[in-house]
Structure 1
Amino acid sequence: MNYETRMDSAEPADRIVMDGRVLEEEALAEEKGSQRRRLFIVLAVILAGALIAALMFSGGEEETAFAPEEDGTLAAVTVLAPGAATLEGTINATGTLAARREMPVGVVGEGGRVTFVPVEAGQWVRQGQVLAVIDRSVQNQQAESQAAQIQVAQADADLAQANLDRALRLVDRGFISQADIDQLTATRDAAVARVRVARAQLNERQARNAQLNIVAPAAGLVLERNVEPGQVVSPGSGTLFSIARGGEMEMLAQVSEEELAQIPVGATARVTPTGSSQSFTGQVWQVSPTIDEQNRQGTVRVALSYDPALRPGGFATATIASGTLVAPRLPESAVLSDDEGSYVLIVNGEDKIERRNVEVGMITDDGLAISSGLDGSEKVVLRAGAFLTEGETVRPVMAGK
């Protein structure tokens, strides 16, 4: 009796536990379903965003460069008739700035101790202007001595002439022989010659003294000053001053062997010193006649007018005009190459693919100039040439239509 009572009382408890488990499992299932729904929503949003971005980048439509027709019979190929245009080519180069005509100035005369240097680097000087003065106290005394020697020689010459004149008056009377006259004449001539020697020595001394002043050989800009007062200089002292004649500057631009042949003398160039936003217009005045064997480059010399921003020894970049060319121009995607060289694919009058070998000329920002192989009226395959075969029949579609 008691056993049955216990059994009846335990049955509702088991049912309660079972109901709780059922409720818990249903809650978990519902939560998992909610998570799946949220995941599907997130994926749908991401997919929609990707589609919108793709449409925005593609402009809302996509150009088909090469695609088969829906019936599978012909391929639609985008073509371009390039025509002919006048192209201006440019070549970019780097190099250093320098004086176009740099004049090194050193000691011309005997040298000595420098007493005065009146110029500084960066100053303009005129032709013949004194750059440095060398002490000449000893040389001045030598010049005075040479001047005195002229007076001595002149006195001897005057005495010899007087003796000759007296002898000539006595020769007719028989007091003086002809041999004596000849001797006196020779003495007079020697004295006159010594006068000329003394004068030449004085002129030489004065010329040497004048060379003690170091002067500017031409007007220009002083680039370097390598001497100070008190310094002893001589002909072996090297360069004391460096002058840019007329202040003219230039850029020594280094270009490749291929580009060197495209640059004519007289071409315009824009030079920009490193670290400066200012550009200067120059003109090519010399193209190197030789090529460096190590780097296969040549030098193009661009003449520039003086400007404080152009400092010799500085680094600069240049954009050089390489001339004009009337030729068809194609984008890089239209020009292919293989072992035989560069070529393009064109669609002939029968709508068949045909290979045409071409030569590429100057390269511009807008494409490649075709120097030979095309006249501009052909229908050139714009893209996807690698997927086409020669002789294949296609349906040409003009670019932009």
Structure 2
Amino acid sequence: MKKVIITGIVIIAALAGIMYVLNKNKTQNEEQTAIVGQKNAAVAVRVEVADYKDVNAQYIANGTFAPKQEVMLSAETAGKVTRVLVQEGAHVRAGQTLAVIDGDKLNVGLSNAQAVYNNAKAEVARFEGAYASGGVTKQQLDQVKLQLENAKNNLRSSQLTASDVNITASFAGVVNKRNIEPGSYVSPGQQLFEIVNVGTLKLQVNVDEKNIGFVKLGQVIKVQSPVLVDQEFVGKVSFIAPKADGSLNFPVELEIKNNATNDLKAGMYGTAFFGSEKSANALVVPRNAFVGSVSSNQIFVVKDGKAVLTKVVSGRTFGENIEIISGITKGTQVITTGQINLLNGTAVEIIK
């Protein structure tokens, strides 16, 4: 009996010891987990310091050159192409004939219309003489005059149709595409030639709301192409959009006179330089410091180890730097990466 009691006491003591050790370990684990949790709660971010910098005061915008004029010439009538008078790359003048379509059937129709018109004209002359002598009534004379008017309109229509056999350039330019050969059969509306004029080109760029107020119609702008690095061109502002797009940018169109050898080609990239080349000293932060986009005017700054969402007033754009007019001061740490994981007041850990 004593053995049983002693054995029970030993077992109970052992279980109590095990429970004590387990509870102690649990407490230690919870404390360690809490420490790790506090450490992991801080979001890793990178920062840069807002500071005054000497920046180029010019606003630079990029776009693609396009021809001032381009047109796709189509067939006006059906028929077989008898002659093609130009090749791709040929310079053509306004009104120059580019191709001729077989017009024999159209010429027959024109001859018939001319004969009907001549007959109706003679008939009117005969009825006018008869009416003067009382041989015909006024109603009969009016009837033949109406027939003459119809014949005249049919003749004019036949003349216009017959002239459609000549495909002519509507303006001076260069043949960029030729889609026909002699002997081809064409239908009305079929595209035959593409003519472009690159003597003058257009460059459309986007100007943001902070700089659009400095752009005026007729303003002369320096333009360059990265392909022609040793050449500089002059553009004149020909259009300023009255309405911004979804990104608060305003499309602006420039007209650029090409050089004598037409070195600028449609499709090349172009850069427009708005404003003077003088440098300016401005308080700036990186573009990627802004939450969402520059137009949001919101950035996260670091205060007491936390991210604080701050409203600022942004100014001019200097490449990848944005001017700050108000909202923060020099020396403020602004968060440039990791904003997607931040809320106002989130603890942060600055990494290099």
- Normalised by the size of structure 2, how large is the TM-score? 0.57
1:91-131, Cα deviation, whole Å (9 max, x unpaired): 243x3221123233223x32422222323343333322222
CA root-mean-square deviation:
4.6
* Percent pairwise identity: 23
Shift of 1:342: 9.7
1:240-291, Cα deviation, whole Å (9 max, x unpaired): 33332x73212233x4756674662436142214476544332343344342
Partner of 2:94, secondary structure, is coil
Query: What are structure 1's unaligned runs of at least 5 residues?
Result: 1-79, 169-180, 344-356, 375-379, 387-401
Partner of 1:311: 265
* One-letter amino acid of the structure 1 residue matched with residue 233 of structure 2: F
1:370-385 matched pairs, under 5 angstroms: 371=325
Partner of 1:211: 164
1:274-332, Cα deviation, whole Å (9 max, x unpaired): 47654433234334434257xx7664433211242222223x14142256899753576
Q: 2: distance between equivalents of 1:149 and 1:368?
A: 77
Q: Tell me if structure 2 keeps the 8 A contact 1:225–1:242.
A: no
1:44-85, Cα deviation, whole Å (9 max, x unpaired): xxxxxxxxxxxxxxxxxxxxxxxxxxxxxxxxxxxx9x8xx9
Matching of residue 119 in structure 1 with residue 86 in structure 2: yes
Q: Tell me if structure 1 keeps the 8 A contact 2:55–2:280.
A: yes
Q: Which of 55, 59, 83 is residue 90 of structure 1 equivalent to? A: 59
Partner of 1:240: 193
Shift of 1:132: 2.1
Change in Cα spacing, 1:332 to 1:252, as seen in structure 2 (3 Å) is closer
Q: 1: distance between equivalents of 2:143 and 2:313?
A: 85
Q: 2: distance between equivalents of 1:162 and 1:317?
A: 74
Partner of 2:67: 99
* One-letter amino acid of the structure 2 residue matched with residue 148 of structure 1: A
Q: 1: distance between equivalents of 2:79 and 2:109?
A: 15
* One-letter amino acid of the structure 2 residue matched with residue 129 of structure 1: Q
Q: Tell me if structure 2 keeps the 8 A contact 1:113–1:230.
A: yes
Change in Cα spacing, 1:273 to 1:101, as seen in structure 2 (3 Å) is farther
Shift of 1:239: 5.8
Q: 2: distance between equivalents of 1:227 and 1:276?
A: 38
Shift of 1:206: 1.3
- Normalised by the size of structure 1, how large is the TM-score? 0.51
Partner of 1:240, secondary structure, is strand
Matching of residue 128 in structure 1 with residue 99 in structure 2: no
Change in Cα spacing, 1:279 to 1:231, as seen in structure 2 (3 Å) is farther
1:1-400 matched pairs, under 5 angstroms: 88-93=57-62, 95-107=63-75, 109-166=76-133, 168=134, 184-238=137-191, 240-244=193-197, 247-253=199-205, 255=206, 257=208, 261=212, 264-265=215-216, 266=219, 268-274=221-227, 278-288=231-241, 289-291=243-245, 299-307=251-259, 308-314=262-268, 316-322=269-275, 328-329=281-282, 359=313, 361-364=315-318, 371=325
Q: 1: distance between equivalents of 2:298 and 2:161?
A: 73
Q: Tell me if structure 1 keeps the 8 A contact 2:98–2:166.
A: yes
Query: What are structure 2's unaligned runs of at least 5 residues?
Result: 1-50, 292-296, 302-310, 334-352
Q: Tell me if structure 1 keeps the 8 A contact 2:65–2:270.
A: no
Q: 1: distance between equivalents of 2:285 and 2:323?
A: 10
Question: Which has the larger strand fraction?
Answer: 2
Q: Tell me if structure 2 keeps the 8 A contact 1:263–1:323.
A: no
Question: Which has the larger helix fraction?
Answer: 1
* One-letter amino acid of the structure 2 residue matched with residue 304 of structure 1: I
Q: 2: distance between equivalents of 1:257 and 1:219?
A: 36
Q: 2: distance between equivalents of 1:104 and 1:317?
A: 25
Shift of 1:364: 4.5
Q: 1: distance between equivalents of 2:156 and 2:271?
A: 53
Partner of 1:303, secondary structure, is strand
Change in Cα spacing, 1:188 to 1:86, as seen in structure 2 (3 Å) is same
Partner of 2:189, secondary structure, is coil
* One-letter amino acid of the structure 2 residue matched with residue 123 of structure 1: A
1:191-221, Cα deviation, whole Å (9 max, x unpaired): 3432333233222211221232222223334
Q: 1: distance between equivalents of 2:209 and 2:66?
A: 25
Partner of 1:30: none
* One-letter amino acid of the structure 2 residue matched with residue 202 of structure 1: L
* One-letter amino acid of the structure 1 residue matched with residue 144 of structure 2: A
Q: 2: distance between equivalents of 1:162 and 1:256?
A: 75
Change in Cα spacing, 1:342 to 1:305, as seen in structure 2 (3 Å) is farther
Partner of 1:248, secondary structure, is strand
* One-letter amino acid of the structure 2 residue matched with residue 310 of structure 1: L
Shift of 1:136: 1.2
